[in-house]
Structure formats: structure tokens, C-alpha cells
Structure 1
């Protein structure tokens, strides 16, 4: 029997095509009709793998989460005092995954839902923090805090939000923004620097909390 000209359809191929479409054209470009055209198949054939567009979006988001490195939380278990470095390495990997697919971030920011990779991520972070001695309630809040920070940093570029037109920044109205028109040209450095500054500030504050926690007398 002759081999089909079009590769057989499967979930992985559909997710890959959907993510590519979102990366290139944004969330609004994703539709069953458009995706079927991209894959050279008929629309109904997609429903054999994904019952709804929301189910497909969940799979696309989870594929992005699957790019995040969790090895810093794996076996053998890190020493308890290494929790801050583990969070630092994880946050950087998480941001890198989102930065590679910024158009998917608004959907990802809604929470893990039933997404397997997202749940594995939450489990790894929570388990590591509890293993390091954080109370379960605080470990939950720290995990949420880190997710808010990382996803927020990936939603938009601060630097790119400033017009490159120097005339916008009239000194009479904005006396401190005389160099703001240069920000867009340094978008990568500004945004990366802001992320690293925020990350270190968060970890410094959490380290102080952890030290106070460890200093408490145990009954």
C-alpha cells in the first residue's frame, strides 16, 4: 500500500502546528478551519483528537510548560539550604519558556487546571519548598508568588511601551523622561535587568523570612 502524502494526524502534530500559528500570528489566529488548512486535513478530523478548541489550547499551553526545566527539584533531593538557588534556576527557565512563546502567556496565566505538565511543575515547587522546611501554607503562597512574578514579567515588554519619538517627552510635562525614547532600543537589556532585579529582591526577602522561621524555638 502506498504511503500517504500527508503524515498521519496525531495530537503532537496538531499541538505543534497550533503553537506555531499562535507564535507567528497570535491567539486570535487559531481556529479549527485555519489549523486544518495548515495541516492539510479536513476540520472534522481534528475533533478526533480534541473535542473543543479549549481542550486544544490547554494542550498547547501544557506543551509550553513542558519546556520548563524542573531538574533542580529532582533526585537526588537538593540540600534544604539550596531552595533559593533552585527557585532562581527554575524562575529563569520558566521565563525563558514563556519568552519563547509570549502570545500564549494570557492563557497560561489562568492557572494549571488539569494540565499534566503544569501540575507536575506545581508539585515539584511545592514539594521542594516543604522539603526545605517551609510550612505548607507558606510554600503554597511562595509558589503562587513566583508564578505571578514570572508570568507578569512575560506578559509585555516595559521598554517597548515607550515611544522612540523624543518629542513625546516634553521636559515641561515629563522632566525625568528625557532619555525615555531610548528605552525601546534597549528592550532586551532593560526587561532582562528588571526581571533579574525583581527575582533577586524576591529571593532576598524570602531568605529573611526563612531565617526568621529557622530561628523560632521548636516545642
Structure 2
């Protein structure tokens, strides 16, 4: 008598596998093309299996943003600086670098909320550094939030032109823009300041941000 073997069961799927697959696919599909169906296909499961872990796409984005943050903090490994100025600059630079590693990375991060409390330790350290430097808690929150929002907004616009480093969307030719705006010479010349040299312009924006915080709150 031949005993039939029971079919092998697929490995149990967990949230971390779904999030990792979503982040892998993001560079291929972009945010608009990233669906639970495409993720399920990547994982070789049926789409309903994912709904055990994420009720909708927003919950998935929350999980993706949380994992992006976790990876960013792991990569920075404590190199956050000893002064509030250094902490703000390093944090904003690290966030920009992390977001640029994914197509539509800034869009994924924007408007999401972290799952759990993976951000609490770094946030606490940062707020302690700022308050020790003379900021009130409210001022520390405003200063750090402004840096965060500046970076998110900047990278959103940057990725609208360059979805990934070295890749450029059609319609953002600076010379062609200048030709079209020839009757508006200052606006035409501004194209190079808006749509090129993103690294340098981001750094200049950070310098303006730090100077503004120093002037507003007059801290050391």
C-alpha cells in the first residue's frame, strides 16, 4: 500500500516578509504601481494572505516607513553629533540619503505613522540634546520637526525630477525651459537653481534652516 505524502505547506508568512518584498518592488513599480497583488505575486502567495497582516495599503505604507526608518538608524549607528546643530544636520542628511534609496521614498514616508515605538529612543536622545542646549521642549520639537519636514518636502520634489539617482524624468530639461521662458529672464535662469545640483542646494537649505533656528531661539 502506497502512502501519499501530504503536500508541503508554504512557509508561514509574517509582516516583515511582506514589508521587505514591498520595499524590493518599490524601485521597479514606484508607489502607484505597488499593490498587494504585485507583492503577493512576488511572495508566491494569494493576495488574500496579505490581508491577515495589512488591512489596506496605508497600513502597508506605515510598515514600510517603519522599516525604512529602522534601516536608516542601523546604518547611522550612533553617528549623530554632539551639538544640536550637528544632530540636526546629520539627521536630515541621513533621512535624505535613506529616502533616495527608494523610488518614491519620500512619498512613502510622508503622512505615515510608525508602527510600534522604533523611533522613540532616537527621538528621546535628540530632544534631550536640544533641551540641554537651552531649548524649551516646544522649541526643540519645532526645530526638529521643521528639519524633518524640510527634508521630506525637498526629497519629494527632487524625486519628482530624479526618481532614482542618475535617472531623470522627461520634461525637466533646463535649457529647453530657459528657451520657453525667454521673455522672463530671471525665471528662465532660475531653472538651474531649481532643477539641478540637488546636493548643493539641499546643503544650502540646511544652512539656512540652522541659521534661522539660531536667530529665532538664540541658543548656543
Q: TM-score with structure 1 length normalisation?
A: 0.75
Q: Quick one: structure 1 residues 6 and 191, their matched pair in 2 at CA, closer, same or farther if it must change by over 3 Å?
A: farther
Q: Quick one: structure 1 residues 53 and 166, their matched pair in 2 at CA, closer, same or farther if it must change by over 3 Å?
A: closer
- Partners of 1:128 and 1:94 in 2: how far apart? 19
State the match for 1:155 in structure 2: 156
Within-5 A mapping of 1:22-171: 22-69=26-73, 71-72=78-79, 82-110=83-111, 112=113, 114-157=115-158, 162-164=172-174, 166=176, 169-170=179-180
Q: Secondary structure of the equivalent of 2:99?
A: helix
Q: Quick one: structure 1 residues 28 and 115, their matched pair in 2 at CA, closer, same or farther if it must change by over 3 Å?
A: farther
Is the 1:6–1:40 Cα contact (8 Å) retained in structure 2?
A: no
Q: Secondary structure of the equivalent of 2:118?
A: helix
Number of residue-to-residue matches in the alignment? 203
1:110-157 CA distances to partner (integer Å, 9 max, x unpaired)?
254545334444434323212322111101111111111110111022
State the match for 2:213 in structure 1: 206
Q: TM-score with structure 2 length normalisation?
A: 0.75
Unaligned runs of 5+ in 1: 215-219
State the match for 2:20 in structure 1: 16
Q: Secondary structure of the equivalent of 1:192?
A: helix
Q: Secondary structure of the equivalent of 1:93?
A: helix
- Partners of 1:94 and 1:181 in 2: how far apart? 24
Is the 2:88–2:144 Cα contact (8 Å) retained in structure 1?
A: no
State the match for 1:197 in structure 2: 204
Q: Quick one: structure 1 residues 127 and 101, their matched pair in 2 at CA, closer, same or farther if it must change by over 3 Å?
A: farther
